[in-house]
């Protein structure tokens, strides 16, 4: 799976979104699409498992997980770094 | 005043900023240690201040026509299952256990107790937990549709947080006097904002140097740090803090909170317009305000400044 496919799969399983994941654009606000704070925590933990990484303290905030594009930037920054 | 028996030896170490204050409270018999950190007996002097602070708390919202309710210090486990407390604060919860075993298991329980061995395996959970906040018992009772304009409640009760400490301000079992609003997103936020002012008026009226600061709850673990960051970013929680001890450490004595739909969603609470309600609460930390006064003015309330005494005991 590509990075984007993995992110979308995590969102399907943990995002508790009110809309189908296929309908989300790169910059769609996930919180606006129904993801709660608690769901975003589960998304964060699932991303760590899926990509085998641990988000550092400075990334543990809402904006890191606000869209598929934002999540990809964070994941890419860590896997490239 | 009743004679208070001497407290057992105290192991507070000198470097803790609350050491002097704690010693004064115990030496003067204001609080009595029980052998468990954060669990105290209270003297009649202490309780007289608590009663006065509670009266002032009630008076601060007397114009609102809030429905006045009391709940016991325990609540159903089922409420915990729904309201997210277990997700956010598993380390602070208090679960009530009892014994349901056989006579043979009872004998084993007694043997383990005598030997100071773990009794846990012989106890079973009940359907009861200790109430962590006075308002938590309210929401399950409000399922359904709110009246136009929402609803206001006033609740006083004992709360439990499992965070043992020798800091007198960090009691495990303490009292809160809350004003709760259930309504629209706008009315909930308005309640939160208005009560910051009402709360500050009560505290400054007692000569306490209170200020409101953005705060977060102590959510559990790494995921909790993200919840805390979100809570701060959205400014959902304000604490009213007062400087205490010789170090003037800011210590929260009240808080004003927006819950968004955190409680209304699991318990199905809607506004008159059929939208999901939002809720907000303001909590006077009655024990902490009492302690802030004892810290500020000393452990002999009879000698407190006349201006402060006249507010507490008009």
Is B192 within 8 Å of B167 (Cβ atoms)? Answer: no
Complex ipTM value: 0.73
Q: How confident is the model at residue B307 (pLDDT cuts 50, 70, 90)?
A: very high
B22/A76 Cα distance (integer angstroms): 52
Task: For chain A, say whether B233 makes contact (Cβ under 8 Å).
Answer: yes
List of residues 6+ apart from A75 with CB closer than 8 A: A3, A7, A47, A51, A53
Specify the fold of B19-92+132-312: BirA Bifunctional Protein; domain 2 (3.30.930)
In chain A, count H helices and then E strands.
3, 0
Give the mean model confidence (pLDDT) for residues B225-237. 88
User: SS3 for A72?
Assistant: helix
Is B95 within 8 Å of B160 (Cβ atoms)? Answer: no
Query: What confidence tens digit (pLDDT) does each residue in B19-29 have?
Result: 999 999 999 99
Q: How confident is the model at residue B222 (pLDDT cuts 50, 70, 90)?
A: confident
Domain boundaries, chain A: 3-80
Domain boundaries, chain B: 19-92+132-312, 97-125
Indicate yes or no: CB of B229 within 8 angstroms of CB of A60.
yes
Indicate yes or no: CB of A41 within 8 angstroms of CB of B223.
yes
B149/B77 Cα distance (integer angstroms): 31
Locate B218 and state its tokens: 């102590």
Query: What average pLDDT does chain B have?
Result: 94
Task: For chain A, say whether B107 makes contact (Cβ under 8 Å).
Answer: no
Percent of chain B past pLDDT 90, that is, above it, reads 89
Which strand (E) or helix (H) includes residue B210? none
Q: Which CATH architecture has domain A3-80?
A: Orthogonal Bundle (1.10)
Indicate yes or no: CB of B225 within 8 angstroms of CB of A45.
no
Query: Could you give the strand order of the β-sheet that contains B95-98, starting from the edge strand earlier in sequence?
Result: B74-76, B124-130, B95-98
Nearest residue in chain B measured CA to CA from A38: B227
B314/B301 Cα distance (integer angstroms): 14
Query: What confidence tens digit (pLDDT) does each residue in A32-66 have?
Result: 999 988 889 899 999 999 999 999 888 988 899 99
Tell me what pLDDT residue B71 has: 97
- pLDDT score of B2 more than 50: no
CA B42 to centroid of chain Cα atoms: 16
B163/B179 Cα distance (integer angstroms): 25
Q: Centre a 10 Å sphere on the Cβ of residue B124 and count the other Cβ atoms it contains.
A: 11
């Amino acid at each position: 799976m590509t990075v984007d496919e993995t992110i979308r799969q995590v969102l399907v399983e943990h995002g508790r979104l009110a809309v189908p994941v296929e309908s989300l654009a790169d910059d769609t606000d996930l919180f606006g699409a129904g993801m709660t704070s608690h769901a975003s925590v589960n998304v964060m933990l699932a991303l760590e498992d899926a990509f085998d990484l641990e988000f550092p303290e400075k990334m543990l905030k809402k904006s890191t997980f606000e869209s598929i594009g934002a999540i990809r930037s964070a994941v890419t920054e860590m896997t490239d770094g | 005043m009743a004679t208070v028996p001497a407290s057992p030896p105290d192991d507070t170490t000198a470097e803790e900023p609350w050491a002097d204050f704690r010693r004064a409270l115990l030496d003067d018999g204001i609080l009595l240690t029980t052998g468990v950190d954060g669990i105290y007996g209270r003297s009649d002097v202490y309780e007289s201040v608590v009663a006065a602070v509670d009266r002032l708390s009630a008076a601060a919202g007397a114009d609102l026509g809030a429905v006045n309710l009391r709940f016991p210090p325990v609540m159903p486990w089922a409420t915990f299952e729904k309201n997210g407390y277990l997700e956010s604060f598993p380390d602070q919860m208090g679960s009530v256990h009892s014994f349901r075993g056989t006579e043979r298991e009872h004998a084993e329980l007694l043997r383990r107790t005598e030997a100071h061995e773990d009794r846990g395996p012989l106890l079973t959970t009940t359907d009861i937990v200790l109430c962590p906040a006075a308002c938590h018992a309210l929401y399950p009772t409000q399922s359904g549709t709110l009246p136009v304009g929402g609803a206001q409640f006033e609740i006083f009760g004992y709360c439990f947080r499992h965070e043992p400490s020798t800091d007198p301000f960090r009691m495990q079992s303490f009292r809160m006097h809350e004003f709760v609003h259930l309504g629209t997103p706008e009315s909930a936020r308005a309640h939160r904002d208005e009560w910051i002012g009402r709360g500050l008026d009560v505290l400054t009226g007692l000569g306490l140097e209170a200020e409101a600061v953005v705060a977060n709850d102590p959510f559990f673990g790494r995921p909790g740090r993200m919840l805390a960051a979100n809570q701060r970013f959205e400014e959902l929680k304000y604490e009213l803090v007062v400087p205490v001890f010789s170090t003037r450490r800011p210590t929260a004595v009240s808080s004003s909170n927006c819950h968004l739909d955190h409680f209304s969603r699991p318990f199905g609470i809607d506004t008159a317009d059929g939208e999901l309600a939002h809720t907000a609460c303001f909590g006077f930390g009655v024990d902490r305000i009492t302690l802030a006064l004892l810290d500020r003015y000393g452990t002999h309330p009879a000698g407190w400044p006349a201006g402060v005494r006249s507010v507490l005991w008009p």
